[in-house]
Amino acid sequence: MTTYLTPALAWRRLREGNERFVTGESSHPNQDASRRSSLVENQHPFAVIFGCSDSRLAAEIIFDVGLGDVFVVRTAGQVIDDAVLGSLEYSIGVLGVPLIVVLGHDSCGAVSATKSAVETGQMPVGFIRDLVERITPSVLTSLRNEQTEVNDMVVEHVKQTSQRLVDSSRVISDAIESGRAAVIGLSYSLGEGHAELVSGIGDL
């Protein structure tokens, strides 16, 4: 069965799934053979989750969803590049997903590395440098606001990343303006398993 949800209902479904996960009452929906068979011809995910690649941040598990429920894009430190934007535009423009979730988490290694680079002036080598350069504006904003903790910087980076998605993509911004989609920013606690809402763009 196909269910097209509003951004608010999509967020409620994720929130309820996260609550089940936090309390140890996950129901593991849509993970059986019949669900797998039903998805062979098409998919209708109700949200797209753009999150950090951290191994502890498995989207389907922490939101207690299953096959075909969420379209997932992950990069270290949830940094945006053209492939990320293309993937998100596909989810919005082709699949008709109503909700984009930007998912950061506490003690993020990529944000910690950026904080260190900003404070010491020592940039990492290789392509890790590219990650750090893309996270640096968020770290600098946090420092200007006298927020010196990594977890404060994570929240700032989630907020800035959410806004940058809207500023960078006409497909996403048009979907928000028409009320078809919204973007929310969440900060996940590795210890508690709770995903806290820290920003929202669009009608929720």
28 is in an annotated binding site: no
**Helix (H), strand (E) at residue 9:** helix 7-22
152 is in an annotated binding site: no
Buried b (16+ CB within 10 A) or exposed e, 54-65: beebebbebbbb
Tens-digit pLDDT profile for the chain (204 aa)? Answer: 345 689 999 999 999 999 999 999 999 999 999 999 999 998 999 999 999 999 999 999 999 999 999 999 999 999 999 999 999 999 999 999 999 999 999 999 999 999 999 999 999 999 999 999 999 999 999 999 999 999 999 999 999 999 999 999 999 999 999 999 999 999 999 999 999 999 999 988
What CATH number was assigned to the domain covering residues 7-201? 3.40.1050.10
pTM given for the model = 0.95
Q: State the residue for tokens 């506490």.
A: 106
**SS3 state of residue 141:** helix
Cβ 161 vs Cβ 137: under 8 Å: no
Pair of tokens at residue 123? 């940039």
Pair of tokens at residue 33? 């053979």
105 is in an annotated binding site: yes
Q: What's the pLDDT at 3?
A: 53
108 is in an annotated binding site: yes
